[in-house]
Amino acid sequence: MSIVLFIAGLIALVAGAEGLVRGASRLSLSWGISPLVVGLTIVAFGTSAPEMAVSVGAAASGTTDLAVGNVVGSNIFNVLFILGLAALIAPLAVHVQVIRQEVPIMLAAGLVLVVMALDSRISVAEAALLLALMVGYTVFLIVQARRAPPQEQSDFAPDVPTSRWDRHWSVQLLLVLAGLALLVLGSRWLVEAATAFATALGVSELIIGLTIVAAGTSLPEVAASVTASLRGQRDIAVGNVVGSNLFNILGCLGLAGVVAPGGLPIAESVLNFDLWVMMATLLACLPIFMTGREIARWEGGVLLAYYIAYVTYLILAAQHHAALAAYSTVMMSFVLPLTIVTLAVMVVHRKPH
């Protein structure tokens, strides 16, 4: 029943996000709000709605480890798995604005999160600051886009379906309400199923949040990035991941921390390991994006391999497996140093076009 509940929760989350984005986009456009604003707010945040719903729902119900694990795990999944998979399909182009602006802002948000988590807790005030930064960043994007030439502004316009059945405002409002209801219901089912998984498997809710729930709530990002890669919209795939990571840190954790009584406690394992893995994946974006302004297929393969290695570590650690010590030694002594050297060589010998 837990598996059924988990699958039903995922379906409800994805359907709820789709309904919310479609209804809110059509409703906003019919009210005269510019497509530019809609594209930079409703549509941009839509793919992260499942993470938001699950993290806030988990925080409100007291399962704060799941709320934190979902965000940290989703960010790791976004970079290593989604970008890796999309790059294997087709080398991903990286827009110059992503390199110069979005990636540094994403790294700054990650550093702010690390500083806040050093005392093993994100307080309500700190969570409110994260939310304020999210609002400020969104306003900044809208102002920046408005000043861009009309041709560039059209790039931010959402691709809203032109069907007839949802043209009336009442249907659009119903879609928004139904989407919100499905997000709430789906998040509740997913949290219940994740808690049951943790109990049945004898692992912590944090591990479930970092793996199964993180991957499940990132399904909209998987669909959006892979579809963009298949259609040749290679820069959209990268922008989607970077934007989602920013929203996860500032929006999801911010709102979850405000909702959770007393803020969000940060588990010791997250502070000692997972948070730094997340920062490493975010930092890895910078040299990869800077070298040639594209993510090559082999780089996508490396990203996927690292995600497999990360999940393998979590599984071994959860089971207190005898091979954990040897596995950790190999990763720390050989694999990570080799990766650092490779990235350094790439930066020195390959210049942006």
Task: Summarize pLDDT for 163-209 with one digit per residue, the tens.
Answer: 777 777 788 888 888 888 888 888 888 888 888 888 787 788 888 88
CA atoms 81, 82, 84, 89: torsion sign: positive
| Tokens of residue 340, six digits | 């650092």
pLDDT of residue 352: 47
Helix intervals (H) in 147-262: 150-153, 169-201, 205-208, 214-217, 219-230, 234-247, 253-259
Lookup result for tokens 């840190």? 249
- Judge whether 200 and 211 are in contact, CB under 8 Å: no
E strand or H helix at 267, and its extent?
none
SS3 content of the chain, % helix, strand, coil (to 5): 80, 0, 15
Region at 63 (left for phi over 0; alpha for psi -120 to 50; beta for the rest): beta
- Residue 19 CA, chain-centre distance (Å), reads 19
pLDDT of residue 37: 67
| Tokens of residue 79, six digits | 């970079």
DSSP single-letter state for residue 295 = E
CA count, 13 A, side-chain hemisphere, 92: 34
| Tokens of residue 87, six digits | 């790059």
E strand or H helix at 307, and its extent?
helix 297-318
- Judge whether 59 and 257 are in contact, CB under 8 Å: yes
Lookup result for tokens 């497999």? 308
- Helix axis angle for 49-60 and 234-247, nearest 10°, is 20
For the chain, which ranges sit under pLDDT 50? 351-353
pLDDT of residue 345: 59
The SS3 call for residue 119 is coil
| DSSP codes of every residue in 9-34 | HHHHHHHHHHHHHHHHHHHHHHTT--
pLDDT of residue 230: 79
| Tokens of residue 188, six digits | 């509740």
- CB-based contacts of 283, cutoff 8 Å, min separation 6: 107
- Residue 288 CA, chain-centre distance (Å), reads 19
pLDDT of residue 34: 67
**The overall pTM is greater than 0.75:** yes
pLDDT of residue 117: 94
Cα distance between the two ends of the chain: 53
For 2-349, CATH gives 1.20.1420.30
- Judge whether 288 and 299 are in contact, CB under 8 Å: yes
Length of the chain equals 353
Rounded distance between C-alpha atoms, residue 87 and residue 217, angstroms:
21
